[in-house]
A and B are shown apart, each in its own frame.
Chain A
Amino acid sequence: MSAPAAQPQSTCLAESVRADFPALAQRINGHPLVYFDNAATTQKPRAVIEAISHHYEHNNANVHRGVHTLGNRATTAYEGARDRVATFLNARSREEIIFTRGTTESLNLVAATWGAAHLRAGDVIVLTQMEHHSNLVPWQMLARRTGAALRFLPVHGDEGLLDLSGLDAALRGARLLAFTHISNALGTINPVAELCAHARAAGVVSVVDAAQSAGHMPLDVRALDCDFLAFSGHKTCGPTGIGALYARRELLEAMPPYQGGGEMISRVTFEGAEYNEPPHKFEAGTPNIAGAVGLHAALDYLDGLGRARIHTQVQDVTTYACERLREFPGVRLFGPQGERGGLVSFVLPDVHALDLATMADQQGVAIRVGHHCTQPLHDKLGVPATARASFYFYNTRAEVDRFVTVLRRVIQMIKGTP
């Protein structure tokens, strides 16, 4: 690798891109919007919005069917997006990329197809205690259907690091390991390559939930050596309703179809059907063509900035936000002390997160409250709800400062001091 160019000042990145995001220029309740709910979904750059409009204005037709020009354009655009996702993840081939509605559907697809083909009563699925409900409930459902059992890798304290001491023991005799790359509640960055290597050594299939990492750092499925990897377009500057599943070719071939319908078949008689080749075998019905086009534009946009640069910028703002939040007496910050994903969850003494978020919104600051779809983890931490601020490369330290000022005012109001 050649020596990296000197990193530009991180705020420069944020400032240089802000004009690309129309939604960020709004005033909310009379104040400039501070959008700190990026772990839920990111805002969309104009390039993505325009790519979607352009598709509908010029290239709209169904895919894989028409012999006409528009049909050909739509198919080229849709399959071009598949190529783009394949390079984004460094997959070996485009056939390893299945378009889905997002991370949730990707994970459900693995559970429904690979799971149905390979899991039997008594088999074991290994998860972690920090999984999003999307990477928990599909496996619970699969376990109920097949009689398989779930095993959980524990999470340590408020720092939220995965306890890997029992990893090999947990993997012994297991069939599948599913875990998140970055926790959406804690910000923990899990050692994906290490976990996948242990799984492979134990003959266990690995599934990576990359919902929080795909838009934040370079991802290379070959280097990570995972079997499946899921992500959502809407958390990577792309539109909602589109995402992808990477599936290692050897596994794909042996998987039964997901849903039945058009596109997924090669020949149908009244009695039965022959299925199409992967990935089409797993994409029944008319897909989200405009979504794929938007995702293509989003991935181009992210790689244009550079994912390593994005990671650096988000790290800077996140670290700064953690520092500033520690100024509040009695604050409880969750997540690792060092490097972490671009978010921080916290609770303040005697101030409910709902009160914080509701009143912060009055001042244009958007943060999230609740258990962030990780209810079992919150039960374990003993907090019914936390407040979460989550960042992206367009956020600045100045916005963090405004967030802190807003928090101070809200706390004063709740505590009844003028």
Chain B
Amino acid sequence: MTMAGLSDMTLEELAANFEALGDWEARFGYLIDLGRELPPMAAEDKSDAYRVHGCQAQVWMKFIPRPTANGLGEPVMDIAADSDAFIVKGLIAVLLMLYSGKTAAAILRIDGVQSLARLQLAEHLSPTRKNGLGAMLKRIRELATAQAAACTY
């Protein structure tokens, strides 16, 4: 695939890529490919402690705080997540693009639903369907809120 890989893509590029893909098959194929590129989650993290409920597939998600290079300022959050369904893995890849590597405060400023609506995906995969998108957005906010509370000093 000639399109940019997961790690270095912005949501704008992703939106453009989805736009360029004409039909649902191409879009879902692309989403599944994004899911395949998802970094694997440690097997021991796929436990009840990190389980996200509210999806018809199994989903796990965890924040891994990473101190900034100079040790000053708030840590950024790397998000580790996985699912047993490919479409959900693809959705996770999209969410990581939007949220991962940002501070908790920055994460809380993002309007996930609105950002995702810009992708041509919205008509196929809305958060009201039981595909985990709504549950994952909620969990991201919860984890970020907990981190933000822990980080106030």
Cα A29 to Cα B125 in complex, Å, equals 13
Cα A413 to Cα B23 in complex, Å, equals 14
Contact B131 A354 (CB under 8 A): yes
Tell me if A223 is interfacial: C-beta within 8 Å of chain B. no
Contact B24 A358 (CB under 8 A): no
Contact A352 B28 (CB under 8 A): no
Chain B 12-65 interface residues, beta-carbon cutoff 8 Å to A: 24-25, 28-29, 32, 36, 55-58
Tell me if B146 is interfacial: C-beta within 8 Å of chain A. no
With A354-B85, A354-B87 known as contacts, the answer to whether A413 contacts B32 (CB < 8 A) is: yes
Contact B130 A355 (CB under 8 A): no
Contact A370 B56 (CB under 8 A): yes
Tell me if A81 is interfacial: C-beta within 8 Å of chain B. no
Chain B 63-106 interface residues, beta-carbon cutoff 8 Å to A: 84-88
**Interface 1/0 per residue, A355-381 and B, CB below 8 Å:** 101110010000001100000000000
CB distance from A166 to the nearest CB of B (A): 33
With A362-B28, A370-B56, A370-B130 known as contacts, the answer to whether A414 contacts B86 (CB < 8 A) is: yes
Within 8 Å CB of A369, what residues of B? 56, 130
Tell me if B109 is interfacial: C-beta within 8 Å of chain A. no
Most buried by A among B85, B124, B125, B129: B85
Tell me if A260 is interfacial: C-beta within 8 Å of chain B. no
Partner of B87, one of A355, A409, A416: A355
CB distance from B113 to the nearest CB of A (A): 19
Contact B57 A362 (CB under 8 A): no
Partner of A414, one of B32, B58, B84, B131: B32
Chain A 314-373 interface residues, beta-carbon cutoff 8 Å to B: 352-355, 357-359, 362, 369-370
CB distance from B12 to the nearest CB of A (A): 25
Within 8 Å CB of B57, what residues of A? 352-354, 384-385
Within 8 Å CB of A416, what residues of B? 32, 36
- What bracket does the count of chain A residues touching chain B fall in? 10 to 19
In the complex formed, the residue of B with least CB distance to A410 is: B28
Contact B29 A413 (CB under 8 A): yes
CB distance from B117 to the nearest CB of A (A): 18
Within 8 Å CB of A414, what residues of B? 32, 86
In the complex formed, the residue of A with least CB distance to B29 is: A413
Q: Tell me if A's interface is mostly helix, strand, loop or mixed.
A: helix
Partner of A362, one of B24, B84, B86: B24
In the complex formed, the residue of B with least CB distance to A356 is: B85
Cα A385 to Cα B83 in complex, Å, equals 13
Contact A384 B29 (CB under 8 A): no
Cα A409 to Cα B28 in complex, Å, equals 12
**Interface 1/0 per residue, A374-395 and B, CB below 8 Å:** 0000000000110000000000
In the complex formed, the residue of B with least CB distance to A357 is: B56
CB distance from A326 to the nearest CB of B (A): 24
In the complex formed, the residue of A with least CB distance to B123 is: A29
Contact A352 B24 (CB under 8 A): no
CB distance from A214 to the nearest CB of B (A): 27
Cα A277 to Cα B27 in complex, Å, equals 61
In the complex formed, the residue of B with least CB distance to A368 is: B56
In the complex formed, the residue of A with least CB distance to B25 is: A413
Within 8 Å CB of A362, what residues of B? 24-25, 28, 124
Contact B56 A385 (CB under 8 A): yes
Within 8 Å CB of A370, what residues of B? 56, 130
Partner of A413, one of B28, B58, B88, B130: B28
Within 8 Å CB of B85, what residues of A? 352, 354-355
Contact B86 A355 (CB under 8 A): yes
Cα A409 to Cα B24 in complex, Å, equals 13
Cα A3 to Cα B129 in complex, Å, equals 50
Within 8 Å CB of A352, what residues of B? 57, 84-88
With A352-B84, A352-B85, A414-B86 known as contacts, the answer to whether A384 contacts B58 (CB < 8 A) is: yes
With A384-B58, A385-B56 known as contacts, the answer to whether A354 contacts B32 (CB < 8 A) is: no
Contact A384 B84 (CB under 8 A): yes
Contact A358 B125 (CB under 8 A): yes
CB distance from A376 to the nearest CB of B (A): 16
CB distance from A111 to the nearest CB of B (A): 26
CB distance from B137 to the nearest CB of A (A): 17
Cα A153 to Cα B112 in complex, Å, equals 47
CB distance from B127 to the nearest CB of A (A): 13
Within 8 Å CB of A385, what residues of B? 56-57
Would you mind naming 25 contact pairs between A and B with Cβ atoms under 8 Å apart? A29-B24, A352-B57, A352-B88, A353-B57, A354-B56, A354-B57, A354-B85, A354-B87, A354-B88, A355-B32, A355-B85, A358-B28, A358-B124, A358-B125, A358-B129, A359-B24, A359-B28, A359-B87, A362-B124, A370-B56, A384-B57, A385-B56, A385-B57, A413-B29, A414-B86
Binding site for A on B (CB under 8 A): 24-25, 28-29, 32, 36, 55-58, 84-88, 124-125, 129-131
Please provide the 3 A-B residue pairs with the shortest distance between their CB atoms, ordered closest to farther.
A352-B85, A354-B85, A354-B57
